Amino acid sequence: MMPLFQAILAPIIGAPIVYLLEKRLRLKVGWIAFAILLYSLSMLSMVAVRFLREGAPIVEEFAWAPLVELYFGFRADGLSLPVVLIIAILSTVTAIYSMPYMEHKTGWGVYFALYLLYAAGMMGTVLATNLIEFYLFWELMLVPSYFLIAEWGYGARERVSFKYFIFTHVGALSLLAGILSLYVITGTFQLYEIPIKLRAANISHYVLFWIMVALLIGMFVKMAVWPLHTWLPDAHAEAPTPISVLLSGVMIECGVYAFARFVPLFFPELLLENSHSLMILAVITMFYGGLMALVQTDIKRLLAYSSISQIGYMLFGLSSATALGLIGSIYHIVSHACAKGLLFACAGAIMHQTEGLRDMRRMGGLAKRMPCTALAFLVGVFSLAGMPTLSGFISEFMIFLGGFQGVGYTQRVAVVVIAMLGAALTAAYGLWALRRIFFGQLPDYLKEVKEAPVTMVAPIMALAILSFIFGLIPPLILNFLSAWAEALGL
């Protein structure tokens, strides 16, 4: 039956079909894309239920080119299932969201075809069982997103997409160098054979460190950790908003997933040793993103910098090298996907209704005209700031508790201070944006603004409800993640 394979194959096959159906269906091809992604989502849900019942990871394997040791497989376990599910959910609802957004643009067939390939790339990255397949899907994420930004983006989209491509591709090449070095040492690409062979090979500490650095550079470029973040503000701000939702919501989190998958598996001791340096990097990223977000006037740029800051949170959890920290980071992937996706979708709704207004200084009092959007924006901001009953609270709580456990007694005070300052900063820029956009005086040129159409509001509301659900019923995700943490031996 191979549900995982079907889940990935469906969007890939669907892409040319959607392209060809554009002539007959015009904008309605978006519904075909939605149906395909819904099918993938249902396949993945079936696998998730099976995993929870059986408790063992579900793996599907094929041989691609055995002579050069290229195998192909999909692995659904406690780590990959929550991430791939949130990718699928976000892609599915954003497919509906794309339709009203793309009303006044052209090339719907190409857009949805590239969109499906992009979704397939992200899902494949998370489900990959060997390093080469992982690299393949990592690059496969890059090409459609490049074209999507270059074609339908705003501003200086050529330069922006070019920079995005070059940065990510060079990072991917660094990743490839690390992967190939691991292959030369261990003789295999399969994820779960490498740790065994690595321990047997008895490699010098120094070499292992540099291999980890090569892999980390690739992941950090994708995650936009300071100082490799410079591509993100432009790319996320100038991308078409549905693509910004996916870029900020799930694509940069694929880097976080890669870290969580590879580093504890291959280099557990190195992670423990360098935990403090990575934490410092995370804190810098957190505050850099937050402070830059505070001074932005363009709503999408503000959200982009906020993404950088949230990645800082996730890296903080990962680098603490404790079970709670790691689980918290992955939980934060889910909550950030819902919250940031939600926020970008609201920004897009505002842009759609006000004919492209992005400057927050010219907005105000929109809550009267667009109540649903305002409510959703509120939920998103509070989730990021970590208010209880929303998913952000659970994830940030776990991240900082993990950080607390991971440092020595003297540094715990620092962790508490960082946690408080970080939460304050996030709340600050979020609430200030909320106030500037939705409250205050409604200017004259915005008096005629109406609420966004249903096809936009429904996805936004869905994401808001998800934030609540994941905040109120943590076991939904924690069941998966604790199984993974147990398997890791933490």
Partner 1 sequence: MVIYPELVPLLPLLLSGIALPLTAILRIDEKLKRNIACIVACIAHAIAMILLFLPTGLVWVTQKEVIVRSFIKGSILSTLYVDSISTFFMLIFFLVGLIVSIYSWRGLEPGIRAELYYALICLLTTGMTVLCMVGDFISFFAAWELLSISIYALVCSKRDDVLAMEAAFKYMMLSCIAAILMIYGLSILYGYTGHFDFIGLQRALSASIPYTVHLALALLIITFCFKAAIVPFHTWAPDVYQASIDPITALLSGATTKAGVYGIMRLLSISRLSPELILSLGVLSVATMTIGNLSAILQRDIKRLLAYSSISHMGFVIMGFATLNPLGLAAALFHSLNHAIMKPLAFLSLGNMRLIAGDTTEEKLRGIGRRMPVTTMCLMVSLLSLMGIPGLNGFVSKFMLILAAFHAGLVWLAIAGIVNSAIAVAYYIRVMQIVLRGTSGAAKAEVPMSLLLPVIALAVMCLVLGIIPAPVISWALSASELALMGKP
Selected binder of partner 1 within 1, 53, 68, 206 (CB under 8 A): 68
Position 183 contacts partner 1 (CB under 8 A): yes
Selected binder of partner 1 within 177, 213, 442, 469 (CB under 8 A): 177
Strands 70-76 and 58-65: antiparallel
Position 104 contacts partner 1 (CB under 8 A): no
Please identify, among the stretches 164-172, 222-230, 272-280, 420-428, the one whose residues bind partner 1 according to the rule CB under 8 A: 164-172
Q: Which is nearer to partner 1, 31 or 183 (CB)?
A: 183
Q: Which is nearer to partner 1, 181 or 405 (CB)?
A: 181
What does the block give as tokens for 442?
Answer: 């409604």
Element (H, E) at 432: helix 412-438
| Cβ burial, residue 107 (10 Å; 0-12/13-18/19+) | middle
Residue among 312, 332, 166, 281 at smallest CA distance from 234: 166
Beta-bridged to residue 190, according to DSSP, are 130
Residues in the chain, overall count: 490
Cα 180–chain centre separation: 26
The torsion angle over the Cα atoms of residues 434, 439, 445 and 451, rounded to 10 degrees, is 70
117-136: which residues touch partner 1 (CB under 8 A)? 132, 135-136
Q: Which is nearer to partner 1, 66 or 408 (CB)?
A: 66
Please identify, among the stretches 63-71, 304-312, 387-395, 436-444, the one whose residues bind partner 1 according to the rule CB under 8 A: 63-71
Please tell me the count of residues contacting partner 1 according to CB under 8 A: 27
Number of H helices and E strands in the chain, helices first, is 20, 2
Selected binder of partner 1 within 66, 356, 408, 489 (CB under 8 A): 66
N-to-C CA span, the chain: 33
CB atoms within 10 A of CB 105: 12
Position 451 contacts partner 1 (CB under 8 A): no
- The least distance separating partner 1 from the CB of residue 118, rounded to whole angstroms, comes to 13
Q: Which is nearer to partner 1, 187 or 388 (CB)?
A: 187
- The least distance separating partner 1 from the CB of residue 234, rounded to whole angstroms, comes to 16
Selected binder of partner 1 within 20, 35, 49, 166 (CB under 8 A): 166
Cα separation of 343 and 351, whole Å?
Answer: 12
State which amino acid sits at residue 144: P
132-161: which residues touch partner 1 (CB under 8 A)? 132, 135-137, 139-140, 143, 150-151, 158
Q: Which is nearer to partner 1, 171 or 325 (CB)?
A: 171
What does the block give as tokens for 30?
Answer: 């978006």
Residues near partner 1 (CB under 8 A): 64-68, 132, 135-137, 139-140, 143, 150-151, 158, 162, 165-166, 169-170, 173, 176-177, 180-181, 183-184
